[in-house]
Amino acid sequence: MNEVKDIQSSPLEYEESAVIVTEAGREAISRLDWMTIQPKIIVAACGTNEITHTLQQRYPDAYIHTLGEIASLPDDSVDMVFANLTTLELREWRRVLRPEGLLMFTALGMDTLQQLRGIINAEDAPPLLDMHDCGDMLMQAGFADPVLDVDYYTLSYEEPEKLWYELQASKMLRASPSAELKKQLRSAEDGSYELTFEIINAHAFAPQKNAGFKAGEDGVTRIPLSHLRRQRS
């Protein structure tokens, strides 16, 4: 097979290759079972059509905006933001969420593509986040009651060229490394080629009106103890 160059994937190629995006979205959708919210207006970036359809089926009466429409939405106008492996826009999401509205998102954690360290250039890799930093970012953006955990996924490939192709087709990799660097990829004991993905799962809420959840000049959000007690009562 010829060396994979910069791939401009079609929507169909993306859907077929974005296995991790779909799996992360399915897990995030399943976590909505824990929520009592029945949103009427949602801002969503689901990643694949399957997840978009599943979200719409779950909330058939809801109107779903794309993330690209968010700038035109007024403050406090959205019941839920659902973002699956997309760029975090926490302050904008906080702006449009109504009081007690739900934010649910997934992000790539620091252990993602650990097998490719030293092989791919940092600028070609997807942005990775530390789970604890995500929690701090949520608080600084003015969200309440953040909950975060991680899942790990492993993809196995029999052929390394399929690995490189799917990484680019799914937009997990901006450019394929040189043939010389590709030789540094090591196979597992069974001869397959594995990729690890760490998926951060997070949800948080926009605070109640007048809850005092504003960041100070130092960027730190201070939460009254009375509110914490009320949330846990």
Please give the single-letter amino acid code of residue 158.
Answer: E
Which residues, given as ranges, of the chain have pLDDT below 50? Answer: 1-8, 225-233
Question: What CA–CA distance (Å, rounded) separates 227 from 208?
Answer: 10
- pTM here? 0.85
- The string of pLDDT tens digits covering residues 59-89 is 999 999 999 999 999 999 999 999 999 999 9
Residue 5 is predicted with a pLDDT of 40
Residue 176 is predicted with a pLDDT of 87
- The string of pLDDT tens digits covering residues 113-141 is 999 999 999 999 999 999 999 999 999 99
CA of residue 224 relative to chain centroid, distance? 29
Which domains, and CATH codes, for the chain? Answer: 11-109+127-152+198-232 (3.40.50.150)
User: DSSP secondary structure string, 91-108?
Assistant: HHHHHHEEEEEEEEEEEE
Residue 12 is predicted with a pLDDT of 81
**Closest by alpha carbon to 106, among 207, 19, 203, 205?**
203
Residue 211 is predicted with a pLDDT of 56
Q: Which helix (H) or strand (E) holds 16?
A: helix 11-17
Residue 233 is predicted with a pLDDT of 35
